[in-house]
Amino acid sequence: MAKRVGIISVEDLDFMNDEVALRLKGRDFISLHDFTGEEIFKIFQVARELKELLREGKQCPLLAGKTLGMIFQKPSTRTRVSFEVGIFQLGGYGLFLNASDLQLRRGETIGDTARVLSRYVDGIMIRTFDHKDVEDLAKYATVPVINGLTDRLHPCQALADYFTILEKRGRLEGLKLAYVGDGNNVAHSLLFGAAKVGMNIAIATPEGYEPDSAIVDAARKDAKATGSRIDILHDPVEAVKDADVIYTDVWASMGQEQEHDRRVKALTPYQVNQELVDKAKPDVMVMHCLPAHRGEEITDDVIDGPHSIVFDQAENRMHAQKGLMALLMRD
């Protein structure tokens, strides 16, 4: 590897210049389903190297002079801060655009918005409700589009999650992740990610809260290539048996507040508490994508306890997304 001194450029970094890295240049990041396991591990490698260089106090302005347009139709603490700080650390600029700044589907077409923004910025991150908005934006944009979240998928979160597990365990293949709770967008992206990286995944939900069957089928098709096992269950205890990781998320996502009471009633038996954690491996790690509704989907003693890697996971949103942006938005 090239010697790292002073300000680091792309030419100094061998891991940014191999065939896989070059193949990622200019790509959209809509779903983990669109990427090979090799490409996902390349993102992890770049994220790990950039994280190490940051801790050494070395500057890596790999995206110097580049601008990321950040569209937020759904607000978020972690998504905004992780992308904005991440692009800054790479030498670029994050331009925040909220719903009132744009006219998506409220006058100007998404196609026109995509064409215009592509003339101003070097990449677009969008966090929105309708997944089709991201697909349409990517269809018409001439710069990379990154899915920061939709009601269907949350690929940046899953990318950071698997990066965190790899960092903690040194491998992913053959490990088991148990997701307990609502079969939502996070669960969907975890399914796609597990199938690509060779992890086993068991999802436990109440009846009527299962992940989308089309996503499960697509993930199972991917899993045939890696040998990972995908189980959709209704018993949380069965799901966490022999689990290396227990994962949960809020029971009522943004836009579902009116369903809160009904969801709490259905999902209370799926709370991640110490009793459930004790049913997994002794060294099980507990994850949550945050924000957490403490006392609902997870208890204080678990999220603040010795098994929790929740805040390492939150930090790694920035590092994983830096690796992603560096690869997609590079010259």
pLDDT at residue 105 in the model? 61
Instruction: State how far the Cα of 113 lies from the Cα of 98, in Å rounded to an integer.
Output: 14
Coil vs helix vs strand at 73 = coil
Q: How confident is the model at residue 137 (pLDDT cuts 50, 70, 90)?
A: very high
21-41 per-position pLDDT tens digit: 999 999 999 999 999 999 999
Residue by residue, DSSP assigns 248-298 as: E--SS-TT-GGGHHHHHHHHGGG-B-HHHHTTS-TT-EEEE-S---BTTTB
pLDDT at residue 12 in the model? 87
pLDDT at 151 over 90: yes
Coil vs helix vs strand at 4 = coil
In this prediction, residues 293-321 reach a mean pLDDT of 98
More confident residue, 320 or 100: 320
Spans of all domains in the chain: 10-153+317-328, 157-313
Work out whether strand 123-127 and strand 145-149 pair parallel, antiparallel, or are unpaired: parallel
Work out whether strand 245-248 and strand 230-233 pair parallel, antiparallel, or are unpaired: unpaired
pLDDT at 327 over 80: yes
Could you give the percent of the chain with pLDDT greater than 70? Answer: 96
Considering the domain 157-313 in this protein, what is its CATH number?
A: 3.40.50.1370
pLDDT at 130 over 70: yes
First to last CA, the chain: 20
Domain topology for 10-153+317-328: Rossmann fold (3.40.50)
pLDDT at residue 75 in the model? 87
Nearest Cα residue to 323 out of 81, 82, 65, 58: 82
Worst-scoring range by mean pLDDT, 134-143, 255-264, 280-289?
Answer: 255-264
Instruction: State how far the Cα of 266 lies from the Cα of 269, in Å rounded to an integer.
Output: 7
Q: What amino acid occupies position 330?
A: R
Instruction: State how far the Cα of 275 lies from the Cα of 262, in Å rounded to an integer.
Output: 24
Instruction: State how far the Cα of 276 lies from the Cα of 33, in Å rounded to an integer.
Output: 30
Q: Do domains 10-153+317-328 and 157-313 have the same CATH topology?
A: yes
Q: How confident is the model at residue 1 (pLDDT cuts 50, 70, 90)?
A: very low
Catalytic residues: 127, 154, 157, 249, 289, 317
